[in-house]
Amino acid sequence: MRFRHFPRLAVLGAALFLSQALLAQTFRGGINGTVSDSSDAAISQAKVTATNTATATVYTTTTSAAGKFLFNDLPLGQYRVTVAAPSFQTLDVSDVTVSSGNLYTLPIRLKVAQQEVALEVSANSLALDTTTSSQNMAIDNLSIQDMPLNGRDFSQLIDDSAAYAGYAGTGSVNGTRSGQVNYQIEGSDNNDLYINFYAVNQPGVSGIAATLLPIDAIDEFSLQTSGNSEVGRNPGGVQNLAIKSGTNQVHGSAYYFNRNEALAAETPFAPPGLPKNALRNQNWGGSLGGPLWRDHTFYFLSYEEQKYIIGNQARSTEPSLAYQANALALLKNANNAFGTYAPVPESQVSANLLATYWPSDVLQGPASEDNYFNPNPSIGISHNILAKFDHNINENQHLSARWFFGQGSQTAPNGTHISEYYIALPSHIQNYDVIYNVALRPNLTNQVLLGVNYFVQVFSDAVHDINPSTVGLNTGITDPNLFGPPELAITGFDPIGQTPVSGRNDITGHLTDSLSWVVGKHQLRLGGEYRRAYIDIFYNFGARGFFSFNGGQGPWSGVTSVDSNTLALADFLAGYDFQDSITRGDQERFLYSHVGSGYAQDSFQVSSKFNFNYGVRYDYQQPIYANTKNLSTFIPSQGGLVVAG
pLDDT, tens digit, for every residue of 62-73?
A: 999 999 999 989
Percent of the chain with pLDDT over 70: 91
**Contact 137/63 with Cβ under 8 angstroms?**
no
Q: Which residues, including other chains, have CB under 8 Å from residue 83's CB and lie 6 or more apart?
A: 35, 46, 47, 48, 90, 91, 93, 108, 110
Average per-residue pLDDT for the chain: 88
The Cα 321–Cα 30 span in angstroms is 72
Nearest to 262 by CA among 278, 239, 281, 245: 278
Cα radius of gyration (the chain):
32
What span, in angstroms and rounded, lies between the C-alpha atoms of 183 and 204? 18
Of 104-108, 197-201, 566-570, which gets the smallest average pLDDT? 104-108
Q: What pTM value is reported for the model?
A: 0.87
Q: What is the pLDDT of residues 505-531, one digit of tens each?
A: 999 999 999 999 999 999 899 999 999
- What does the pLDDT read at residue 289? 97
119-133 burial, b at 16+ Cβ within 10 Å, e below that, comes to bbbbbeebeeeeeeb
pLDDT band at 644 (very low <50, low <70, confident <90, very high): confident
* pLDDT at 28 > cutoff 90: no
- Distance (Å, rounded) from C-alpha 305 to C-alpha 302? 11
Ordered by where they begin, the domains of the chain are 2-133 (2.60.40.1120), 138-312+375-464+500-538 (no CATH)
What would the mean pLDDT of 74-81 be, rounded to a whole number?
A: 93
Q: Residue 516: name the closest of 602, 430, 449 by CA.
A: 602
Residue pair 424/462 in contact (Cβ under 8 Å)? The answer is yes
pLDDT at 392 over 70: yes
CB atoms within 10 A of CB 270: 14
pLDDT value at residue 153: 94
Quote the pLDDT of residue 119: 61
Q: Helices H, strands E: what count in the chain?
A: 5, 38
- Contact of 220 with 138, CB cutoff 8 Å: yes
329-347 burial code (b ≥16 CB/10 A, e <16): bbbebeeeebeeeeebebb
Judge contact between 445 and 454, C-beta under 8 A. no
Q: Coil, helix or strand for 564? A: helix
* Helical (H) or strand (E) element with 355: helix 348-357
d(CA 434, CA 510): 11
Identify the H or E element spanning 145: helix 141-146
Tell me the per-residue pLDDT of 410-466, one tens digit each, with 9 for 90 and over. 999 988 999 999 999 999 999 999 999 999 999 999 999 999 999 999 999 999 888
Please say if the pLDDT value at position 18 is more than 70: no
Among 31, 51, 53, 49, which Cα is nearest to 85's?
A: 49
Q: Would you say residue 83 has pLDDT above 70? A: yes
The model's confidence at residue 132, banded by pLDDT at 50, 70 and 90, is very low
- Statement: residue 305 has pLDDT above 60: yes
Nearest C-alpha neighbor of 238 from the set 450, 26, 505, 544: 26
107 neighbors 127 (Cβ within 8 angstroms) = no
**Distance between CA atoms of 128 and 106, rounded to whole angstroms?**
10
* Polymer length in residues for the chain: 645
541-559 pLDDT tens trace: 999 999 999 999 999 998 9
End-to-end CA distance of the chain: 74
Taking the mean position of all CA atoms in its chain, how far away is CA 232? 18
Please report the pLDDT score of residue 127 as a whole number: 39
Distance separating alpha carbons of residues 219 and 145, to the nearest angstrom: 10
Element (H, E) at 574: helix 564-574
Q: Is 317 left (phi over 0), alpha (psi -120 to 50) or beta?
A: beta
What is the structure's pLDDT at 116? Answer: 52
20 has a pLDDT exceeding 80: no
| Strand ranges, E, within 217-362 | 218-226, 238-243, 251-259, 279-293, 297-310, 315-316
Question: What pLDDT is attached to residue 224?
Answer: 86
